[in-house]
Amino acid sequence: MHVKYHVSFYSFPRPNENPGLALLHMVFHREHNRLAKSLQAINTHWDDEKLFQEARRINIAQHQHCTSLEYVPIIVGYDMAARHKLLPQQNGYFMGYNESRNPSILNEFSTAAFRMGHSSIPDTLQLLDPHYKLLSSVPMVSTFHNVTSLISPGPADPLLRGLLGSVMLPTDLRLADSIMNELFQKTNLPHSGQDLFALNLARGRDHGLAPYVKYVFYCGVGEVKDFSDLRSLMSIRAVAALRQAYRHVHDIDLYVGGLAENHLPGATVGPTFACIITLQFKITKTSDRFWYESLGSGFTYSQLQSIRTITLSSVVCKNMDEKNPKVPVNAYQVPNEKR
């Protein structure tokens, strides 16, 4: 039987924005195919459509689990994630589904708060050997919408190790030159690049986002009436920069103010962005009838418990080209020989 469960990402423009992003998509595409092959071996009577849909369902559940288990706590902090019940349960089913809740994505989340990751984008992509030693680095500006290196065997593993072994840049007002001045710059055409910071500001204004100080108040972080009130939320240097850029404190864009805030303990964002991101993930979890931990997901209890053993590192490890690769236990921590 010719199994038609293979899927490809090369024809889609968005995942191909840069090789790092494309590679993460590729890992989960490979995981889908790996699951389909395993399911076919166990259920020889299933047709192609059944194999595809069941592999897809498991893959989505694994992605949801990795996101809520590892990613969300790093962004908003473990305490906030736990307080708002965003962490996966260790046993039982999630009973918090709310059929009357609007599952839409918050404008403030998509247009400002979740763009915080742009400040973490580096100027180069690192390629690391199996011992996580530097092989080479590639300028980010040369990789925009150019993932041809991933089509041939070889580069995937070094780049994956580069993503796992590189220290993330902090979330702040500084963006790397590769996206601040050279975004989508055309080859052999200097100064043709765009400014992602400016694009984010324009997008927020086009979407009609309220001023930053409104969200500070809404989130219960405090009340800001003057630039001096910002000193409890961000560094003196950040306050000075905002005072120079804006005529009045009520003019500060949400994207800018959120990036400028001091981070919460154990988080990569400040209290205002953490508030918005937490609210969005809570909405997503409680409004999804098919959330992987809910009864509506259709997983048996033993299947759900198996999904709860998955981590991003385990997914990456199973889908690298190298046999028996070395992958850090926590994909979000830089590899350490002692761990």
Q: What does the pLDDT read at residue 4?
A: 47
> Distances from the Cα of 331 to the Cαs of 6, 122, 127, in angstroms?
26, 18, 16
Q: Residue ranges per domain, the chain?
A: 15-318
User: How large a percentage of the chain has pLDDT more than 90?
Assistant: 77
Tell me the backbone φ, ψ of residue 155, rounded to 5 degrees.
Answer: -70, -20
Q: What does the pLDDT read at residue 193?
A: 77
> Distances from the Cα of 326 to the Cαs of 62, 168, 311, 338, in angstroms?
21, 20, 15, 13
**By the 8 A CB rule, do 332 and 70 touch?**
yes
| Three-class DSSP category at 17 | helix
Task: Point out the residues of the chain with pLDDT beneath 50.
Answer: 1-11, 339
Contacts from 300-308 at CB under 8 Å and sequence distance 24+?
301/93, 304/93, 305/91, 307/58, 307/61, 307/62, 307/65, 308/65, 308/88, 308/90
> How far is residue 229's CA from residue 234's CA, in Å, rounded to a whole number?
10
pTM score of the predicted model: 0.91
CATH number of the structural domain 15-318: 1.10.640.10
Q: What does the pLDDT read at residue 187?
A: 75
